[in-house]
Structure 1
């Protein structure tokens, strides 16, 4: 099987010890971490607007779309983990090994555009949270986002487990905020559970279909596939056929559990919007700021809006950490080029902050909302260049050995890839039109 000249993530590769035997819970906890870092991308600020709009306009009906999107994500992230464990390569390294250099450079440029677009959404989301919670103007909030460079450097210097612990702590905070929101919102649980059953009206209703496409299209982030294929290799499982099989089982269990958490958060956003806005006739709530200002008055509880703001701030910070790591993996994998972490972070964050500062100065905060939409369009354009190579690689028995996927999973994977790419292209077309 092929192996990279240098292991993915350098010294962090194989740096986290895992027990060879013992109780299953102890082994699961040793592998827990990479899945949660991946799950961050499925609940980042870029996803919130579609969940809020879907809940406020159509109640609980689109919960089935969130569930379907999550099942697609579980499959694709499992394939990304499979590639990393079976070959010892992350997705970027596999592309560099397989494709001619001009193709690799083109893929790298597309990935960099996606990372910047993702960072753009995180800057805007974090700036909105700072404004809502502390009254900091959007312009200064965007500039303050540059300070997270020092946070990330501190965490990475303390080892990969410290980075994972920070991400999981913020995910726990987000989970707690939305659990409290659900208690305060008091939704009709019979209607909630009915919402997870697909309805024909989703396809026949044009406005509902548009939001459904937005939910599916914004679910799978291209950088997550590169990220997961790399960070699963931080575990020190034996690099033998049996060790890889065992490592894959635990890695898939980790990512599936973590993505279930992401399903809860996305569903909770929509359920809260349905219970608070849709039920009270506020069907025009489509932005995070609208939701923030209406939550407390409608629920009669002052802390409701604060919980939303805290969750948004935690989501923005968390997404920053994982996008930075993905940027490092992509640059090193495609180009075999390594630059200091601080330089990489400053460069990416600077490119993201400048457009936010310029647009806010010239067009006000309404302009940043349009910029957020544009960032999601850029992400949609990049997705096929990550999904298609991934499915092709894990289907290749010569490359994957015994861990190549079988005909059933292969057919399902290509179906999911086709659906996601088609919906992203539809979303792109509708947005431009």
Structure 2
């Protein structure tokens, strides 16, 4: 077995392992068959997939389906392909360099640049948390009639749920997330059966159309879908949690880990694609075809599903899926926050303090807006949180592509030429589309 020097090409040795309390804590069978090994690696991909189906995605998918039918399905598919490639690069950085993206940035960039990157990243995590707070509060309001402001405060409880899960071990977190994703999937499977979409227009929607570029309002929503799909904090998260597996830290061991972790990531993100596509398909089949083309937020969708599909279960399942999505995203947001703070600053806070800080930052604007402006205000805040995430995305994608392209940092694991070109191409598209989204939003 050839040992791989994960410090080669980096300026200094890392001060500690990423998420040290769970580093290499999950056993990988040395002599197991393919299925046993894959089962041991399954988990981190599900945690990452959660970020691709959080409440922030729902608004853009609903608006896209209601306004333009199935036409933007191709954008959801393209976004998912981008996500699969970027998360593969994130896995590669974590497995090969044994650094998460925050630790890698800290090693490579000037302290001033790192401080700026950390601030941007914290803003993005707070924005993501804001989307989860609002999503959960809206779900509680729709399902149980709890006022939005009280629902926002109730979301603090998840701090203690996460603490309990973390104390039980990392597999518990992965199992809970997997269970909640299953709830979301089954809820939307039921909704698809009820809405009975047209199969041929649906399949046609998976092929990109010129109109997506030429129609400004369609392009705006398309960019929103892309911005809401690829999550910056997921790139930090995945590069860390992939290291929870106790694989041999040799060239052969890393090759095997990279193979299985990439399968886990790709399968999980295809599941996220099915859920995101389902939201758009339901909106297209239910709202677009019945003339409700101006439905653009979660509240309107929830209220219209019952009369249009003829059963109250349609709205109830929609609300349950939203609550599960909101709660799921808080789990991964907490971990990402811990990884970013420890990686950039070498500051180790107790998880409950870290969680409380992030949640407080998200709760204050959500509480003020929900009290002053109610439903409409929280819907606008949800969209605004996605714009903030879009702004941060480039600052995570560019360093990730730089590091994994580097032969000196990654050795024989550096991206092959075709992957280098593809990664740079995706980076340029993401930066260009996000600049366009910002221009349209603010000007």
Tell me which interval the TM-score lies in, with the shorter structure as reference length: over 0.9
Q: Partner of 1:362 in structure 2? A: 372
The 8 Å contact of residues 227 and 387 in structure 2, kept in 1 or not, is answered as no
Specify which of 252, 260, 279 is matched with residue 262 of structure 2. 252
Q: Partner of 2:177 in structure 1? A: 167
Distance, in Å, in 1 between the alignment partners of 2:332 and 2:271 is 17
Q: Partner of 2:395 in structure 1? A: 385
Specify which of 222, 231, 236 is matched with residue 241 of structure 2. 231
State which drifts further: 75-84 or 1-10. 1-10
1:60 counterpart = 2:70: yes
1:307-322 counterparts in 2 under 5 A? 307-322=317-332
Q: Partner of 1:102 in structure 2? A: 112
Distance, in Å, in 1 between the alignment partners of 2:225 and 2:374 is 27
1:29 counterpart = 2:39: yes
User: Secondary structure at 1:4's aligned position in 2?
Assistant: coil
The 8 Å contact of residues 57 and 228 in structure 2, kept in 1 or not, is answered as yes
Specify which of 318, 337, 352 is matched with residue 342 of structure 1. 352
1:344-380: CA deviations, max 9, x gaps?
0111101110111112222333222222222112111
Q: Partner of 1:80 in structure 2? A: 90
State which drifts further: 204-213 or 258-267. 204-213
Q: Partner of 2:167 in structure 1? A: 157
1:262 counterpart = 2:272: yes
Where does the alignment leave 5 or more consecutive residues of structure 2 unmatched?
A: 1-5, 8-12
User: Secondary structure at 2:246's aligned position in 1?
Assistant: coil
The 8 Å contact of residues 227 and 389 in structure 2, kept in 1 or not, is answered as no
Distance, in Å, in 1 between the alignment partners of 2:433 and 2:382 is 19
Distance, in Å, in 1 between the alignment partners of 2:375 and 2:292 is 22
Specify which of 339, 343, 350 is matched with residue 333 of structure 1. 343
Distance, in Å, in 1 between the alignment partners of 2:160 and 2:83 is 31
Distance, in Å, in 2 between the alignment partners of 1:277 and 1:365 is 20
Distance, in Å, in 2 between the alignment partners of 1:263 and 1:86 is 27
1:52-88: CA deviations, max 9, x gaps?
0111111111111110000000000000000000101
Tell me how large the CA RMSD over aligned residues is: 0.8
Q: Partner of 1:284 in structure 2? A: 294
Where does the alignment leave 5 or more consecutive residues of structure 1 unmatched?
A: none
Specify which of 5, 12, 21 is matched with residue 11 of structure 1. 21
The 8 Å contact of residues 59 and 383 in structure 2, kept in 1 or not, is answered as no
Distance, in Å, in 2 between the alignment partners of 1:329 and 1:357 is 27
Q: CA deviation at 1:430?
A: 0.7
User: Secondary structure at 1:174's aligned position in 2?
Assistant: helix
The 8 Å contact of residues 70 and 281 in structure 2, kept in 1 or not, is answered as yes
Q: Partner of 1:44 in structure 2? A: 54
Distance, in Å, in 1 between the alignment partners of 2:288 and 2:116 is 45
Q: CA deviation at 1:21?
A: 2.7
TM-score by length of 1: 0.99
Q: CA deviation at 1:202?
A: 1.2
Specify which of 188, 192, 217 is matched with residue 182 of structure 1. 192
1:197-212 counterparts in 2 under 5 A? 197-212=207-222
Distance, in Å, in 2 between the alignment partners of 1:17 and 1:176 is 30
Distance, in Å, in 2 between the alignment partners of 1:17 and 1:191 is 46
TM-score by length of 2: 0.97
